[in-house]
């Protein structure tokens, strides 16, 4: 199986828990979850039936979810006048219970469900339903207790129910902006919210613009001021107060269920994720050693620890399990390490000149992926070509991970230097770095590109041996870069945004929040294509020497395949060497087959653009 297929298969497996190794679940097409335990190793496990290495659990009913705190799959059957709850344990056993529903439940449609803890520590569930009038109701159900019903006064999706605080938290999506988090007291009847009783409700009148991370019965972890200056805060769900803990930039955070005064914190610095055990009472952190993992993604939170998935260009993939005391265990993933590759370095490239009264930052950050050292018998001992890789967003960042399904490894073994650029406009480096290129993308990216080319020249790589690679907005920058620097070999752009005016109009129709977002960042009403920058007439001013390839899924729900097709047709009419390669995927590959196809086409296109063969030698100068 190819690396893209391995990665796609690995991502489909859900990390459920840890029992002397990762316990994984795979949801099959027939709605059955296959639970796989590690092979028997003679060590005592946490579960009495550990010798059973594979269990199949059929998920049916109106909704199903994995309840992490109990390590069970829970199915819900809305069958008025009762709600039936089935809890399937990972060893194949199950039990069930029922609660009576109020009058009118026969017209309900179940739309969502989440698990929570009661004040006594047992499990309860919060169901979101629509009634006959399509109004939203929230139903709190627990074994052996009468249901409670609440009609939320704020819009949004339920993300947390704090039983002890009698508070429900809803997340109102705001398009490109960070969502609004609303907390409101939970009523006992499905009537409009009223401020009766002794509880002070005024503290809930102002929502927080923040990203929800995790919650307990009394408090929550949220990332505020994102994406410009993300900061971790503890939100007291009883008083409504916020305690800013800092620790920016924050990637994720989770409470330890067995020790809720401590949390696992994931931060990103210099393109690498780091795990920390955070003492919330003292706001003190201790780093958890996870060597070889560039990116860390939280996959599950269980009573005995937190599970992570690690991905790195050099380190491959692995599963990490972090216990409440901060001890770390690991298990290899599907992609092994590549010991031939040297360590990745984070550096700041070049300096920016002051373009006008608003000076840009003095340098641009990048991750440098260097080819392996070669025996002296090889034709060359240094890179013969370079690829400058550009992430999407723009408000995202490049990290050490298996980007492009591990494509960098192939390039590195082709003696190709990879500069993974966190161009001006990326997150993770402060508000000034993020805002600097708004409505001035050509000037900003030209300076970033010049800094990259200064490095490639230092390494003996001329511009005509350098190509740009980008996905989504990074693909747009790759096309722009070839206009700004005609000496480049060309570009490979996957699912790019190629017509900013049309893209902004479509986004504004989908959500009015996008209208101001696009206007703040791009020159939509500029008079000329060059001033609009991401305009078909401007992007097709590349030279006949530059090879341009666009890869785009015909079912892309984010950027327009038709815009890319129109752009390539425009370039071909000018007799420019442009190519459009399509498939039936969305914005990113959604099957193992399309992941492999996109990977192989990207690699082949880069090799053709740089006139490389697969044997680490360039062919002939252009």
pLDDT digit string, tens, across residues 18-65: 998 999 999 998 889 999 988 765 555 666 555 667 899 999 999 999
CA pair distance 64, 107, nearest whole angstrom:
20
CA pair distance 90, 492, nearest whole angstrom:
45
Q: What mean pLDDT do residues 111-129 have?
A: 92
Question: Of 305, 332, 359, which residue constitutes the final position of a domain?
Answer: 332
Residue 598: closest CA among 609, 615, 585: 585
Does 50 fall in a domain? no
Residue 45: closest CA among 16, 18, 72: 18
pLDDT, residue 227, reads 79
Does 112 fall in a domain? yes
CA pair distance 243, 233, nearest whole angstrom:
5
Does 24 fall in a domain? no
Give 437-455 pLDDT, tens digit per residue.
Answer: 999 999 999 999 999 999 9
Does 561 fall in a domain? yes
Q: For 405, phi and psi rounded to 5 degrees?
A: 55, 40
pLDDT, residue 52, reads 64
Question: Domain check: are 187 and 112 in the same one?
Answer: yes
Does 82 fall in a domain? no
CA pair distance 158, 138, nearest whole angstrom:
9
Cα of 97 vs its chain's centroid, Å = 37
453 touches 463 (CB < 8 A): yes
Beta bridge partner(s), residue 562: none
Cα of 180 vs its chain's centroid, Å = 19
Question: Domain check: are 471 and 412 in the same one?
Answer: yes
CA pair distance 156, 179, nearest whole angstrom:
9
566 touches 540 (CB < 8 A): no
257 touches 116 (CB < 8 A): no
Does 87 fall in a domain? no
DSSP-derived pairing of the beta strands 109-117 and 231-236: unpaired
CA pair distance 99, 73, nearest whole angstrom:
18
pLDDT, residue 293, reads 85
191 touches 151 (CB < 8 A): yes
Beta bridge partner(s), residue 272: 269
Least confident range from 92-96, 472-476, 542-546, 557-561: namely: 92-96
| Summary mean pLDDT of the chain | 89
User: From the CB of residue 571, how many other CB atoms can be counted at a distance below 10 Å?
Assistant: 22
268 touches 248 (CB < 8 A): no
Check which CATH number belongs to the domain holding 364 and give it. 3.40.50.1820
> Is a pLDDT exceeding 90 seen at residue 360?
no
Phi-psi region of 593 (alpha: psi -120 to 50; beta: other; left: phi over 0): alpha
Measuring CA to CA, how many Å separate 469 from each of 263, 349, 474, 553, 591? 38, 18, 8, 17, 22
Question: Domain check: are 278 and 367 in the same one?
Answer: no
Beta bridge partner(s), residue 496: none
Confidence category of residue 503, pLDDT binned at 50, 70, 90: very high
Q: For 516, phi and psi rounded to 5 degrees?
A: -70, -35
> Is a pLDDT exceeding 90 seen at residue 83?
yes
Does 556 fall in a domain? yes
330 touches 20 (CB < 8 A): no
Question: Domain check: are 446 and 577 in the same one?
Answer: yes
> Is a pLDDT exceeding 60 seen at residue 353?
no
Question: Domain check: are 349 and 328 in the same one?
Answer: no
pLDDT, residue 44, reads 55
401 touches 295 (CB < 8 A): yes
Contacting residues for 253 by C-beta, under 8 A, at least 6 apart: 213, 214, 221, 223, 232, 263, 264, 265, 266, 278
DSSP-derived pairing of the beta strands 316-322 and 305-312: antiparallel
> Is a pLDDT exceeding 90 seen at residue 336?
yes
Question: Of 332, 366, 399, which residue constitutes the final position of a domain?
Answer: 332
Helix 513-521 × helix 500-510 angle, to 10°: 160
Residue 610: closest CA among 383, 332, 392: 383
Question: Domain check: are 311 and 404 in the same one?
Answer: no
Question: Domain check: are 326 and 387 in the same one?
Answer: no
> Is a pLDDT exceeding 60 seen at residue 190?
no
CA pair distance 141, 552, nearest whole angstrom:
46
Give 256-303 pLDDT, tens digit per residue.
Answer: 998 999 999 999 988 899 999 999 999 999 999 998 889 999 999 999
Cis peptide preceding 249, ω within 30 of 0: yes
Number of domains in the chain: 2
CA pair distance 129, 140, nearest whole angstrom:
11
141 touches 99 (CB < 8 A): yes
pLDDT, residue 229, reads 77
SS3 for 481? helix
H-helix or E-strand spanning residue 455: helix 441-458
Convert 272-307 to b/e letters by CB count within 10 Å (16 or more is b): bbbbbbbebeeeebeebebeebbbbbbbbbbeebbb
383 touches 370 (CB < 8 A): yes
Measuring CA to CA, how many Å separate 597 from each of 237, 367, 443, 589? 48, 26, 35, 9
Q: What mean pLDDT do residues 172-180 have?
A: 91
- Domain of residue 412 covers 345-498+534-609
Question: Domain check: are 252 and 355 in the same one?
Answer: no
Check which CATH number belongs to the domain holding 134 and give it. 2.130.10.150
Question: Domain check: are 274 and 313 in the same one?
Answer: yes
Confidence category of residue 195, pLDDT binned at 50, 70, 90: very low
Question: Of 266, 297, 332, which residue constitutes the final position of a domain?
Answer: 332
Confidence category of residue 616, pLDDT binned at 50, 70, 90: very low
Measuring CA to CA, how many Å separate 410 from each of 95, 102, 413? 50, 61, 5
Give 222-257 pLDDT, tens digit per residue.
Answer: 999 887 778 899 999 988 889 999 887 889 999 999
Q: Environment class of residue 501 by beta-carbon count within 10 Å: exposed (0-12), middle (13-18) or buried (19+)? A: middle
Question: Domain check: are 349 and 316 in the same one?
Answer: no
pLDDT, residue 30, reads 87
> Is a pLDDT exceeding 80 seen at residue 505?
yes
Does 83 fall in a domain? no
Question: Domain check: are 309 and 378 in the same one?
Answer: no
Residue 82: closest CA among 160, 139, 163: 139
DSSP state of 203: G
Residue 215: closest CA among 164, 250, 139, 274: 164
Question: Domain check: are 297 and 411 in the same one?
Answer: no
SS3 for 509? helix
CA pair distance 569, 272, nearest whole angstrom:
40
CA pair distance 3, 316, nearest whole angstrom:
10
């Amino acid at each position: 199986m190819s690396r893209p297929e391995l990665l796609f298969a690995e991502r489909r497996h859900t990390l459920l828990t840890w029992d002397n190794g990762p316990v994984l679940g795979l949801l099959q097409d027939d709605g059955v979850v296959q639970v796989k335990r590690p092979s028997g190793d003679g060590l005592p496990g946490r579960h009495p039936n550990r010798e059973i290495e594979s269990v199949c659990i059929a998920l049916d009913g109106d909704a199903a979810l994995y309840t992490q705190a109990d390590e069970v799959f829970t199915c819900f059957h809305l069958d008025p006048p009762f709600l039936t709850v089935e809890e399937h344990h990972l060893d194949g056993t199950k039990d069930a219970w029922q609660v009576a529903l109020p009058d009118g439940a026969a017209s309900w449609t179940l739309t969502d469900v989440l698990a929570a803890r009661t004040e006594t520590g047992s499990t309860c569930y919060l169901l979101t339903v629509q009634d006959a009038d399509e109004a939203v109701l929230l139903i709190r159900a627990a074994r052996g207790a009468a249901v409670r019903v609440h009609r939320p006064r704020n819009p949004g999706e339920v993300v947390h129910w704090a039983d002890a605080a009698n508070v429900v938290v809803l997340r109102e999506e705001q398009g490109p902006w960070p969502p609004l988090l609303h907390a409101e007291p939970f009523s006992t009847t499905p009537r409009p919210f009223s401020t009766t009783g002794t509880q002070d409700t005024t503290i809930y009148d102002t929502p927080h613009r923040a990203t929800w991370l995790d919650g307990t019965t009394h408090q929550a972890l949220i990332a505020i001021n994102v994406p410009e200056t993300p900061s971790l805060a503890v939100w007291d769900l009883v008083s409504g107060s916020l305690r800013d803990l800092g620790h920016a930039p924050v990637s994720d955070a989770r409470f330890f269920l067995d020790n809720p005064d401590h949390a696992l914190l994931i931060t990103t610095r210099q393109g690498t994720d780091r795990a920390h055990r955070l003492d919330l009472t003292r706001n003190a952190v201790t780093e958890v050693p996870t060597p070889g993992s560039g990116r860390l993604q939280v996959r599950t939170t269980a009573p005995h620890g937190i599970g992570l998935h690690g991905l790195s260009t050099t380190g491959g993939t692995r599963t990490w399990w972090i216990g409440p005391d901060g001890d770390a265990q690991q298990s290899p993933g599907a992609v092994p390490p590549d010991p031939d590759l040297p360590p990745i370095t984070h550096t700041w490239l070049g300096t920016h000149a002051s373009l006008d009264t608003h000076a840009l930052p003095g340098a641009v950050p990048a991750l440098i992926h260097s080819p392996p050292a070669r025996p002296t018998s090889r034709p060359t001992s240094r890179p013969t070509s370079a690829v400058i890789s550009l992430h999407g967003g723009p408000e995202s960042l490049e990290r050490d991970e298996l980007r492009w399904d591990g494509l960098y490894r192939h390039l590195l073994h082709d003696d190709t230097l990879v500069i993974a650029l966190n161009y001006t406009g990326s997150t993770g480096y402060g508000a000034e770095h993020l805002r600097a290129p708004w409505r001035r993308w050509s000037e900003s990216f030209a300076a970033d590109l010049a800094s990259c080319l200064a490095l490639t020249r230092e390494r003996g790589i001329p511009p005509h041996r350098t190509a740009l690679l980008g996905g989504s907005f990074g693909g747009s920058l790759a096309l722009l870069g070839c206009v700004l620097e005609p000496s480049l070999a060309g570009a490979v752009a996957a699912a790019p945004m190629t017509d900013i005016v049309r893209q902004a109009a479509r986004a504004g129709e989908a959500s009015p929040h996008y209208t101001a977002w696009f206007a703040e960042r791009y020159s939509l009403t500029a008079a000329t294509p060059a001033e609009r920058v991401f305009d078909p007439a401007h992007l097709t001013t590349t030279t006949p020497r530059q090879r341009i390839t666009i890869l785009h899924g015909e079912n892309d729900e984010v950027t327009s395949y038709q815009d890319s097709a129109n752009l390539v047709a425009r370039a071909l009419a000018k007799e420019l060497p442009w190519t459009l390669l399509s498939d039936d995927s969305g914005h990113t590959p959604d099957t193992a087959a399309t992941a492999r196809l996109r990977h192989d086409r990207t690699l082949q296109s880069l090799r053709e653009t740089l006139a490389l063969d697969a044997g680490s030698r360039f062919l002939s100068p252009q």
